Structure 1
Amino acid sequence: MRRRTAVLAAGALAGALTLTGCSGSASGPDRAELSVSSPYMPQPVSADMAAGFLTITNKGGAGDRLTSVSSDVAGQVTMHSTEGGAMAEKSSFAVPAHGRLVFESGGNHLMFEKLKHAPKQGQTVTVRLTFARSGRLTVEMPVQSATYHPSTGH
């Protein structure tokens, strides 16, 4: 049986974050326990593209995979890794048991492509994260200044 959970967390630098997701009703070592922290989108400098960053923490004993990301603000949201200065689009990312998946400037990141409108600093963007085992989490991602770099978090 699956149940809906809601978690509300406030980040000192990132603003309010709301999650809604599905998870198994039993706890234990065979379940992922996902939460999201430090979400933000720098105000886009381009009319049709923006980046997004956040950290996904898994306190459970089972791994999961982030398989897709979507948002009403963009025609599509793609996931990218950056290694050795080279960016590559990825179809999924592992979220290890008792581990984290970090999307940060200069590393893994989300690309909001074909923006329907350019989000402005102070607004929030709704982002849906879909996981192979845990279902969907909905995140409210605050739009920060184009030069924002968190000093804490990841």
Structure 2
Amino acid sequence: MALAAVAALALPLSACGGQDGPDVTVEGAYMPQPVTDELAAGFLTVVNDGDRPARLTGVSSDLAARVTVHETVDGTMRPAASVDVPAGGRLTLESGGTHLMFEALTRRPVKGDTVTVELRFEDADPVTVDMPVRSATYTPSHHRH
């Protein structure tokens, strides 16, 4: 009898777990203080602790009319329609690589401000990030393995 109750409880839990999809969080977000009134860049790391990949499909912020993900390929920036975050892995948006571009700024943020950004995913809930504005020359310390 107890075994049947445990089996009945396990079924809904496994069904829910399978539908939850990727487990996405964000760390290390920052924006260097923009040097123009038109454009800004944003950097962060998306961590996917889930067992399925996540696809970043959109970004928005009240700071800009448009926020896009840009990839740097052969030294040239180009917008990407979506970017994948591997299961059990991470996607690092960093200077010189894939990053966020804020276009047509509604205001020019300064060091000490916080910019709110929403990341949207194909198979995961949106993630809202408070991105601190750092000095224009700020460089995070990375410890690569």
Q: TM-score, normalised by structure 1?
A: 0.79
Tell me how far apart the structure 1 counterparts of residues 102 and 143 of structure 2 sit (CA, whole Å). Answer: 22
Tell me how far apart the structure 2 counterparts of residues 29 and 61 of structure 1 sit (CA, whole Å). Answer: 11
Which consecutive residues of structure 1, in runs of 5 or more, have no partner in the other structure?
1-24
Q: Structure 1, residues 70-94: CA drift from partner, whole Å, max 9, x if none?
A: 0001011011011221211101101
SS in 2 for 1:135: coil
Amino acid at match of 1:110: L
Q: What is the Cα-based RMSD across aligned positions, in Å?
A: 1.8
Tell me how far apart the structure 2 counterparts of residues 29 and 132 of structure 1 sit (CA, whole Å). Answer: 13
- 1:100: which partner in 2? 90
Q: What displacement does 1:152 show?
A: 2.9
Tell me how far apart the structure 2 counterparts of residues 68 and 153 of structure 1 sit (CA, whole Å). Answer: 28
* Higher strand residue share: 1
Tell me how far apart the structure 2 counterparts of residues 35 and 135 of structure 1 sit (CA, whole Å). Answer: 10
Tell me how far apart the structure 2 counterparts of residues 142 and 150 of structure 1 sit (CA, whole Å). Answer: 12
- 2:60: which partner in 1? 70
Q: Percent identity?
A: 52
Tell me how far apart the structure 2 counterparts of residues 45 and 153 of structure 1 sit (CA, whole Å). Answer: 28
- 1:91: which partner in 2? 81
SS in 1 for 2:36: coil
Tell me how far apart the structure 1 counterparts of residues 18 and 122 of structure 2 sit (CA, whole Å). Answer: 18
- 2:136: which partner in 1? 146
Amino acid at match of 2:81: S
Match of 2:113 among 84, 109, 123: 123
Q: Structure 1, residues 77-127: CA drift from partner, whole Å, max 9, x if none?
A: 011011221211101101111111110000001000000100110010000
Tell me how far apart the structure 2 counterparts of residues 81 and 124 of structure 1 sit (CA, whole Å). Answer: 24
- 2:16: which partner in 1? 26
Tell me how far apart the structure 1 counterparts of residues 114 and 93 of structure 2 sit (CA, whole Å). Answer: 18
Tell me how far apart the structure 2 counterparts of residues 145 and 61 of structure 1 sit (CA, whole Å). Answer: 37
* Higher helix residue share: 2
CA spacing shift, 1:138–1:121, aligned 2, 3 Å: same
Which aligned segments of 4 or more residues in structure 1 are displaced greater than 2 angstroms? Answer: 25-31
State which structure, 1 or 2, has the greater radius of gyration over its C-alpha atoms: 2
Q: TM-score, normalised by structure 2?
A: 0.84
SS in 2 for 1:27: helix
| Number of aligned residues | 130
Tell me how far apart the structure 1 counterparts of residues 143 and 113 of structure 2 sit (CA, whole Å). Answer: 20
Tell me how far apart the structure 1 counterparts of residues 98 and 111 of structure 2 sit (CA, whole Å). Answer: 22
